[in-house]
Structure 1
Amino acid sequence: MATIRARKLADGAVSYTAQIRIKRNGVQVYQESQSFARKQAAQAWVRKREAELDQPGAIERANRQGGTVKEMIDRYLIEMEKVRPLGKTKLGTLQAVRESYFGKLNDQDITSQQLVEYALWRMGKEGGGVKPQTAGNDLAHLGAVLSIARPAWGYEVDPHAMSDARRVLKKLGYNMRSRERDRRPTLDELDKLLTHFRGIQARRPTSINMLKMAGFALFSTRRQEEITRIQWADLDEVGQRVLVRDMKNPGQKIGNDVWCHLPPEAWAIIQTMPKALPEIFPYSAESVSTSWTRACQILGIEDLHFHDLRHDGVSRLFEMDWDIPRVASVSGHRDWNSMRRYTHLRGRGDAYAKWEWLEKILQAPVKLGAKTLK
């Protein structure tokens, strides 16, 4: 049953409050009200809501308390941790979203308008003043949670909200797509970094052997997470290749195991590692990233990521006149479009043909710490 009551406001205007009460067997099971400036609008809302509430299961859905974005993210993190830990960037992004005002929203309140507002807030001063590409990454990581929350856990999430929000932001002129990164280390930068790491190794022999890690990343084109997962059992001695487990791929993140060829330099570095543990490089990927970032800060090297060694490695192979299939056999790329993002040529030939650091990397001693050996 619905009622509409008129109420005179302090400024003399009239407000109309529409109220819907539904009873079953003499017991009120639902109540909802909303105010309007015009009586016709109140009447239209009553007709629309009564028709909606008359649908099977509508009352139960309307009475549902729902869950928050924070609860969805928490569950997502728990479930993903069972399979494989999330990357540092994605984990940090989801934790930030969870603790923001957006984390307090209920599932049914997640609309395209709310998502657009969040992106604009992130790009504004209060939200951190991030670039559109960063806000776009926020939406991408949040979208991964929302896409699972509805079909897997029963949260009431509009499946079109995210795509609609991205369309609106594009119409508003924001380029939310990440720019293609073309940063490669110079030989001078690598000389400074490896000299720094060799000094640390001399003072703390059991620390992460960043000489081996950096050298192998460059010549093998492997990501830091992949390097720290490689085991001795994953090596094919005859084929001089390695099985890269769960290789990063947009369509298949788990179970995407790929055999990748190891160039001679990468193969030689592996042979210098001790066979004390199943893992060839028994280090934490996050610790490797932290060591690299700290070294760059100390040395004043700007905007150079450990992942840029992969860019450099792929580009180097093309500069050596390797064809696409041969480079792909090392990098693991499935198509040229993906590989193109990693290819930023500087010239022809092998810039590392007479690189003095290769021999230093090979000769560098490795001593695993007590924590590593546990």
Structure 2
Amino acid sequence: MPTIVKTPSGTWKAVIRKTGFPTTSKTFRLKRDAEDWARSTEDEMVRGMYVKRSQAEKMLFSDAMDRYLREVTIHKRPYTQQGEKPRAATLKAHFGAYALAGITSELVAKYRDDRLAGVHRKDAKGNPQPLQPNTVRLELALLGHLFTVAIKEWGVGLVYNPVLNIRRPSPGAGRNRRLSAQEEQRLMQLIDQYSNPMLRWIVRIAVETGMRSSEITSLKVDQVDLARRVVMLKHTKNTMPRTVPLSLKASALFQEAVDNPLRPKRETHLVFFGEPGKDGKRRPYNFNKAWLEIKAKAGMSDLHFHDLRHEAVSRFVEAGLSDQEVSTISGHKSMQMLKRYTHLRAEDLVAKLDRLSDAT
């Protein structure tokens, strides 16, 4: 039987001691509430449905997210860590004061709807600024994984993961930004004029190979085999290493980059290196500021660096490479992931169909 005792402060403490379960207690202002809690908790134990909720009721979301960043995010790839930190800050600003047990599916669903509608994100005139569905999907993915880790690894007594029960926003059709010949000429002219030649090599290599920004900037000299005209990628977005073949243009660009007379060979093995940090170590070259300035000057503020990867893959398809050959170069895990490039093939088929019609 539960024990109900009055504390010196005038509150009522319910204590449950049951064989096979840890001693559980909770304090209430009213004796009736203590009795109701003790009765329902003991009933859950008898029916095998008991979950110790005390930690979930005490642990604030802000503390849980800080722990997640320390213990989980830190072991992810640098690119993923960089993306999770601002998402974590956004989630903390909204849910930070809640206990984990207080975050329900209803609250998460409202957060989703508010973010999609731009309720908490407004421009200078006070107009809502809706977020892209995929941005909200990534935030919900982080939120959901935090609850999964809390339940499975931290032993936090939660009845369920509130994110699992809500609808995720549709990811949308994805970007389909291509470079026109005039745009490419204008962009490359400004890129070539930039004082640091590494920016020129990086941008042009992206267009030639379809490699991601992080894949290019993290390259070390021993990963570039100019004799065989290939680059060996050890760490990629989908975690699968791959070997990227190099065109003649790409080989020439890598040759210039590897032979860069300013590269401090004793300090770093990176092909594209930055200035030494406070610890004296050189990290990958961060070209983002220069890239933003140059594309704005070129009148292409809507162009993302990742669009250069889309441009490269589209050109592979237009050149007649098979889907399997393209995926080998680009690293797409499945043919389904290449589906947004198939419209190029459909356009090519129109001309072939016309030729068939003429022949008959």
TM-score w.r.t. structure 1 length? Answer: 0.69
Match of 2:111, SS? helix
Deviation at 1:305, TM superposition (A): 0.3
The corresponding residue for 1:366 is: none
Which secondary structure state, in structure 1, belongs to the residue aligned with residue 15 of structure 2? strand
* Aligned position for 1:273: 257
Instruction: Establish whether residue 118 from structure 1 lines up as the match of residue 120 from structure 2.
Output: no
Kindly indicate whether residue 203 of structure 2 is the aligned counterpart of residue 214 of structure 1: yes
Q: 1:239 to 1:63 in 2, by over 3 A?
A: closer
> Higher mean Cα deviation, 256-265 or 42-51?
42-51
1:28 Cα offset (Å): 9.8
In structure 2, what residue type is equivalent to 1:264? L
- Structure 2 residue identity aligned to 1:199: Q
8 Å Cα contact 1:314/1:343 also seen in 2: no
Query: Are 1:119 and 1:135, in contact at CA under 8 Å, matched by a contact in 2?
Result: yes
**1:181 equivalent in alignment to 2:175:** yes
CA deviation vs aligned residue, 1:5-32 (integer Å, no higher than 9, x gap): xxxxxxxxxxxxxx8833669x993234
Alignment match of 2:101 (pick from 93, 108, 119): 108
- Per the alignment, residue 240 of structure 1 pairs with 229
| Aligned 8 A contact 2:273 2:285 in 1 | no
Q: Deviation of residue 102 (structure 1)?
A: 1.2
Change (3 A) 1:65 1:140: closer
TM-score (norm 2): 0.72
**Aligned with residue 27 of structure 2, among 22, 27, 31:** 31
> Which string of whole-angstrom CA distances, capped at 9 and with x for unpartnered residues, describes residues 157-176 of structure 1?
5554222112xx6xxxxx43
CA distance in 2, matches of 1:63, 1:326: 52
CA displacement, residues 184-241 of structure 1 (integer Å, 9 cap, x when unaligned)? 222222222222233332xxxxx36221111001111000001011112113345422
Q: Structure 2 vs 1, CA of residues 89 and 303 (structure 1 numbering), >3 Å: closer, same or farther?
A: farther
* Alpha-carbon shift at residue 342 of structure 1 (Å): 5.3
Equivalent residue letter for 1:123: L
* Runs of at least 5 residues in structure 2 that lack an aligned partner in the other structure: 5-11, 122-129, 275-282, 349-360
Please give the per-residue CA displacement for 1:313-336, whole angstroms capped at 9, x wherever unaligned. Answer: 001011011112222221122321
Mapped partners of 1:64, 1:159: distance in 2? 11
The residue number in structure 2 matching 1:227 is 216
- Displacement of 1:309 in angstroms is 0.4
Residue matched to 1:327: 326
Does structure 2 retain, via aligned residues, the 8 Å contact 1:111–1:161? yes
CA contact (8 A) 1:147 1:159 kept: no
Partner of 2:335: 336
What letter corresponds to residue 139 of structure 1 in structure 2? L
1:107-161 superposed Cα distances (whole Å, 9 cap, x missing partner): 2233322211211222344322324443223212333433333323334455542
Secondary structure of residue in 1 paired with 2:78: coil
1:295–1:149 CA distance, 2 compared to 1 (3 A): farther
Query: Match for residue 8 of structure 1?
Result: none
Equivalence for 1:75: 67
* Residue 313 (1) aligns with residue 312 (2): yes
Question: What residue in structure 2 maps to residue 172 of structure 1?
Answer: none
* Paired positions, count: 309
**Counterpart-to-counterpart distance in 2, 1:28 and 1:140:** 33
- 2:297 corresponding residue in structure 1: 298
Q: Does 1:21 align with 2:14?
A: yes
Percent pairwise identity: 24
